[in-house]
Amino acid sequence: MPQIKTMQQLFKRERRSGDLVFALLFLVFAIFLLANIGNQTQWVKGTKLVSQPSFWPAISLGGMTFFAVLHLLGSVLSPRIFGRLKEIGFWLRSFEYAAWFLAYVWLVPIIGYLLATLLFMPILVFRAGYREKRLLLLSVVIGFAIVVVFKSFLSVKIPGGMIYEYLPDAIRSFMLINF
């Protein structure tokens, strides 16, 4: 019993709801990667240890697993804070916005950067719960400004939309260059 108490003192730390789930998942992930080191890296004969392709993956995954075990231990031995399921629910809700982001990425090469942005921003602002006309309009203005600054002025590499192909020649080249 005293040894257990000593260990608890040594590893105790502040933890938040969901910490144990994260610590456990991270450890499983680290062990999975470490278990695959034989399949996923090569051992080259006649090469020094530090020059082996598997040397750094072994170091990093060994370290990941070692620290993940200690982190999990700290999580188990620290006082629990309730609200784990609620917290995981919070994490999962972020997937919706990741999906919105990917939908936007998917749309840009089809309908073009300008149109995709002018649609994406007000729709997402609406989805975020804003109903004021002022904010919806502001989102359109900011969307337009972002496109003009990055595509027209800074010429970042964003391809034109497929629908630009249907535009008259003069307008098409203008749209391809600027929007």
Partner 1 sequence: MDILLQAIDNLLRWDVLVALLIGSIGGVLIGAIPGVGAAVAIAILLPATFSLDPLVGLTLLLGIYGSSMYGGSIPAILINTPGTAVNALTTYDGYPMTQRNEARRALSLAYSASFMGGIFSVICLMLLSPLLALIAPHFGSREIFLAALLGIILVVLAHRGKVFAAGMLVCFGIFLNNIGLEPMRYTKRYTFEQSWLASGIDLIVVILGLFALSQAFLLLVKKDERPEAAMVSGGIFQGLKELWLYKRVATVASSFGVLMGMIPGVGEFTAQFMSYTYAQKTSKTPEKFGNGSPEGLVASEAANNAVPAAAMIPLLALGIPGEALTAMMLSVFYVHNVIPGPQLFQNQMDFVMALYIALLLLNVMVLIFLLFSTNMILKVIRIPTRFLGVVILTLSFVGVYSLRNSMTDCAIAAAFGVFGLILKRLDLPTVPIILGMVLGNIMEVKLRSSMPRVKTPLDFIDRPIAAILFGIILVVIIMHIRSVVKEYRSSH
Site for partner 1 in 149-168 (CB under 8 A): 150, 154-159
- Residue 170 CB, nearest approach to partner 1 (Å): 25
Assess 139 for contact with partner 1 (CB under 8 A).
yes
| Alpha-carbon separation of residue 52 from 3, 33, 105 (angstroms) | 41, 18, 39
d(CA 32, CA 58): 13
Assess 115 for contact with partner 1 (CB under 8 A).
no
User: 60 vs 173, which CB is nearer to partner 1?
Assistant: 60
Q: What are the DSSP calls for 154-174, one per residue?
A: S----PPPGGGGGS-HHHHHH
Give me the residue label for tokens 């697993």.
65
User: 142 vs 167, which CB is nearer to partner 1?
Assistant: 142
Q: Restricting to residues 52-81, which ones interact with partner 1 according to CB under 8 A?
A: 53-54, 56-57, 59-64, 66-68, 70-71, 74
Assess 100 for contact with partner 1 (CB under 8 A).
yes
113 DSSP assignment? H
User: 117 vs 179, which CB is nearer to partner 1?
Assistant: 117
152 DSSP assignment? I
